[in-house]
Structure 1
């Protein structure tokens, strides 16, 4: 077969019956579909249509939500990928077998923003077909422009995507930041952030960190939503701590109290305290503080950590055992955290008596 030999109609019939209904021009070429045949199939009223530059839909009707996702990824992915790995072509049969990562047509591209949150099953995210744009994250060096329904989000460092239904999707915290960047009202931003925490999709600190890196914390409507997010995260973590104590039959502590030396300075607040065993539990719900300057955020976070460490060291010098828990630990391994607290309570019998401290309501 030479370049002048007419194309056989068999590849087109094979593609029409394939489950993969969205292909790039490079993939179609790998199936034996040349430029002339491609133009003929995509003529007005023809059986195929062009969705995006170099990306084709192999049926005449409107694309489904899944087809739009794959089309956006094909447009943004590396152009040198020539064929779908699961469908070997005649030209590729004699070539060495390539690693899977080199054969994916979506290399260095993943869905992000509102579309990604919909794939992560956010109830507050809109249906995929209602989105005018699908955000696709690509490396900053990618030479490509947003077009049609594919909007490119450039990034210096790509996170590791999660595969959802065969679609590479940005992690929740990163997708949140990309979604918030496109929203101008506090209501939708607050709903997304609240669902992220309440639904256990990500921790507040991770969400705020991504918003901070995206330089979104200078926007007033984002700052208002972040305040609600941190309060929501704190309340959820406290509820999990209450449930852990109750479900694992730990002794009932004094909740949310301040410790103070008699006649001396305040030692600070703790989330739970067992005075007979001198054991305290602290929830670490700290997150980067928002301000107009990144330097101020870093300085504030550093000062907050120093104060936190100083309080813990002071309590431990007084003989009080401080158990440090994070919301993530309580969510992912409550059994293990209950064991840690129980061990601290039991070990109190082998320690020297702690200094007497006053316990006051927080």
Structure 2
């Protein structure tokens, strides 16, 4: 453990804990160190540095990734000037209880957040020229140096990663894509989000829609690929669920039709003896791809027709089981139980109407 030359009657130590190496003006003041004394330590050749306004790194070497992130959060999370006199920041220590980190409501978002979430398509934080930080819309701070403030009227609940508040994957993804013009980079990030099991397409598309970037050329095709990727993964999980949990083999991807009558629609799996159908709920993401009243009308008409088709099947005695991609991913055993229960209940139901089964 290395100890600085004392600046006051209190002892300030530099430890391996990043929270002790990167401190705000208020946190230094809690140690009895004034802004003037801190500035003196940051003079050319001095032992400290000031990477951002009101934030100090207590060593002269280039800040690490963790130090850059903490500095960004301390800058973005400092209280408004009108409230600073009422705030006493505490510096975390080995014996601390409830501690004010100094981050306020700020959280890392964008590519830096995706890097913390483990995305291979996101560069390491140390190589980033910019770190995005999500803050409430009412904050009046400005983006400065390597910190870009992203304002939002409603903050998501942060995820704690490496001791830092980080935006959830879908929100971080939308903020990252909003700043990218490279279609290939956008596609890589969206694909990894789904293929890596970080989140479902419906959630991603919802965040992209909220950010009003679905119509951008570099996003449109990537979203189509995202939905196709999500669909393929959901189908694979459905196959694995049936096999792993000993369910009888169904007919896969078939169309149902009344003899000499109307088309009843396609289903992902069908057990004809029990008249049980499984549909993967992968249509939901397109609900978010709306940018005008005409699309809203088209969407409502599409979903009205979908609901009517489902009701028609159920009136004919066909049990329709809806499974979501997320539930197949996180709780396949539970979903297998749902399907098995529907199959077993067939013996207690009235026989279903005869339907024709055609390959899809």
Q: Same fold (TM over 0.5)?
A: yes
2:135 is matched with which residue?
138
Q: Number of matched residues?
A: 347
Aligned equivalents of 2:205, 2:12: Cα separation in 1: 49
The within-5 A match list for 1:211-222 is: 211-222=208-219
Written as runs of structure 1 = structure 2, the 5 A alignment for 1:157-196 is 157-196=154-193
Distance in 1 of aligned mates of 2:149 and 2:57: 20
Residues 1-362 of structure 1 mapped to structure 2, 5 A cutoff:
9=7, 14-17=12-15, 19=17, 20-79=20-79, 80=84, 81-87=87-93, 103-286=100-283, 287-289=285-287, 293-362=291-360
The TM-score with structure 2 as length reference comes to 0.92
What stretches of structure 1 of length at least 5 have no aligned partner? 1-6
Call closer, same or farther: CA 1:313–1:292 in 2, change over 3 Å. Answer: closer
Q: 1:295 to 1:167 in 2, by over 3 A?
A: farther
CA deviation string 1:51-73 (max 9, x = no partner): 10111110001000000000000
Contact in 1 for aligned 2:206/2:288 (Cα 8 Å): no
Check the 8 A contact 2:92/2:101 in 1, yes or no: no
Give distance in 2, aligned partners of 1:114 and 1:296: 34
- Quote the offset at 1:343 in angstroms: 0.8
What displacement does 1:18 show? Answer: 6.8
Give the superposed CA RMSD.
2.1
Report the CA distance shift for 1:315/1:292 in structure 2 as closer, same or farther (over 3 A): closer
Change (3 A) 1:300 1:160: farther
Quickly say closer, same or farther: Cα 1:27–1:298, change in 2 above 3 A: farther
SS in 1 for 2:68: helix
Name the TM-score, length of structure 1 as normaliser: 0.91
Q: Closer, same or farther in 2 for the Cα pair 1:44/1:236, shift >3 Å?
A: same
CA contact (8 A) 1:289 1:300 kept: no
Cα separation, 2, equivalents of 1:290 and 1:339: 31
Relative to structure 1, the CA distance from residue 21 to residue 8 in structure 2 (aligned partners, 3 Å threshold; closer, same or farther) is closer
